[in-house]
Chains A and B, each alone.
Chain A
Amino acid sequence: MATLLQPKKNGSINPLKSSAPLGAALAYLGVDGAVPLFHGAQGCTSFALTLAVRHFREDMPMQTTAIAEVETILGGADNLEEALVNLQARMNPKFIGIASTALIETRGEDITGDLLSIMQRRHELARTAIVYASTPDYVGALEDGWAKAVTAIIEGLVVPGERRQKSLRQINILPGVHQTAADIDQLRDMAAAFGLDAVVLPDLSGSLDGHVNAEFTPITSGGTKLEDIADMGEGLATIAIGQHMTPAAEALEGLTGVPSTVLANLTGLAATDELVALLSRISGVAVPESLKRRRSQLVDAMLDCHFYLGGKRIAIAADPDLTYQLAVFFKSLGAEIVTAVTTTHHSALLERVPAKEVVVGDLMDFEERAAAAQADLLVTHSHGRQAAERLGLPHLRVGFPIFDRLGVQHRSMIGYAGSRDFLYEVGNIFLSLIKEKKPEDFTSAEVPPFKVQEKRDVGQTLAIG
């Protein structure tokens, strides 16, 4: 449906994308007892840390190999070794996830090889699970880093081989970078409604859901347990969310034989129906009343809200999966996607975004296109606030980073309940903009031409392999 546009430019103005190493670090933070380690110069970690702290409003255990001038010339293997040993001694983490940065990758270092020889030399490191994902800043964006880290965790820590399930009740869920703690809680509850225990990897609902511990810990608390990761082969099935999780799902399926399904999207009625039907098939349990009730609440919300969303002109700028998810959802309520800007072209899903074109670009592309298209609403992360100010348009915050709104981890936009709440949030924006009419509003009012919508593409499941 959508054509993919990559304007040729000499840089970007007001970047939309967050870096791949940051995405990887966020994924690592969803593991219990973890410390993410950036392999590169110290500033990269500091910036990533600051941004993540602003979004989650939590302390973040992110570390750096602190490459300085000398190592930039001579190579960073010694720093990597020193960092691992130091981290081990100081924090005693159960898990260290390494994300490389552009500097180290540009030198062309053999990090996998370095890591192997370090592990051979340093027996004390055997107590800690260590994985590495290659995430140079100049390739891809947040989604790519997240997906690579999850794949690295699976390849490094899942015990391979097919086996008979111990419990017959376990499923694996691989959430995308665009799922919040509340989304994950909801997924787990939905699975539980079918009698299924979900192993969620990574699980930010335990580690970054904004809780106050009784004691201080310098590493993550909560998050996926290492033994649960090892046992992912015990699952009945794997559900991955978002196109970018396809490689991770494939890796898990390849290692363990557990069949996997990638759901492109979990926002809205059709998408949630598909998930619920899938859970019912996996578990062999009929859809419980509690979920039917949530479903009817969402239907009612759609009835209440469609008045305010119908015909609205929406501009979206986000990572590919989130763009797709939002676009499909808004479209299902009669709104039109007049602008869609995304961060990377690494997604086959982009062609299926219900918009005329999807631009791989920055927030300046977004601002200019939204203005030209006379958008009614800007949907993007917090950095879009400057564009919203300049254009005088309402701004709905989605994705990462959201640093000028509170409680972002507790806001869900998936499943029946999350979609319902999200829909009310959007509806309320438009409702609050309705002004009392004055005579002068009618004198030369221009009525935008009425357009009949195309029929929506309902099939959302992505075939795997």
Chain B
Amino acid sequence: MNRPPQRVVVTGLGIVSSLALGREGTWSAMLEGKDGLAPLTRLSLPLEPAQLAGQVAMDPGRHQTLCERMALGALEEALDGLVPQGDPTRIGVFQGAGTSGLPVAEAFLEERLAGRRGRASEPAYQSPSTVTDALARRVGSQGPRGTIMNACSSSLLALGQAWERLAAGELDFAVAGGAENLCRTTYAGFSCLKAVDAKKCRPFSRDRAGLNLGEGAVQLVLETLDGARARGAMIYAEVLGYGASMDAHHPTAPHPEGEGAARAMTMALRTGGLDASGIDLVSAHGTATPANDGAECLAIRRALGTAADAISVTSTKSQFGHTLGAAGAFGAAAAILALRDQVVSPTLRLEEADPICDLDCTPKVAKQRLLRAALVNAFAFGGNNTSLLVRRWEGR
């Protein structure tokens, strides 16, 4: 492992969620134990048994997809009026996408099935990278940009990409995150896999029965520490590194003992140069599906060893639902704000933990505690695992 030359910090954070259109509103609602899950209105799927979702109070614009609109909204908050200065070729944009363009393709297909012509516009059908391009225009980027589609680990890997470039000294400034909007393909897909709970999801619970779907966007501004200091930026946290791995086990199910997930976490610790004893929080993937949560807890134990007994674990899925391509960025936002305020957001509806989830999964209420560093997990179909390592900013 070649140590990167630059330290990387988070200097901006924007959230558009089903709890609130904004960072602090979302965060305070999370700490109060609220969730954004509500009867499904975004889509009309009356035959689906589950009718709950985390929906954002925002609609597509006339010339924008909902994804683009949410992503730009989150970016505006993250920038907080900042107009990035300096060499535009050293500004990068990295986005994770899950469904992104699917609603447009669905609408076109539906029109064709109805015997109508449908509206095919090129930007619409290519929209995964269109969101990235829109964000790049906003920050005036002439540098590298990337759109990752690693399903549910997409946006966390996008954050890893940004870290890589900044840490290597190739960029000064980057925007990274993800946006996801509800669509029929994912709703019907997870439903037919029997992965959706008709009730509100219960991560880590003995009676967990599946996930709820959600939508939203999170955008982070990342900079080199030198650049952030030079402009006197407020620093939320430091990104130390990340890890990624494949399970090579099953197209949709995680490795039952979390073998690949543990390797991603171990790699994140290695790239970040941190020992397991330095971790106080895991912002878990925590989908509330029967297969995921147990495997993830085993993976945490595998990666952290005895240090796992002293950490807090939490799942944002209990508050936003599963935001798929944006889920990793939501987990990262929760971890960064937790490190800032020294408080862990709760895992809602965790009444009785599954014995296999024998970690402190922060049931029902927020928990004040010392938080030095956090791992953020996001795992995806295809056995794609990503883990990001972030550290509390202490002004050094």
| A and B: bona fide binding partners | no
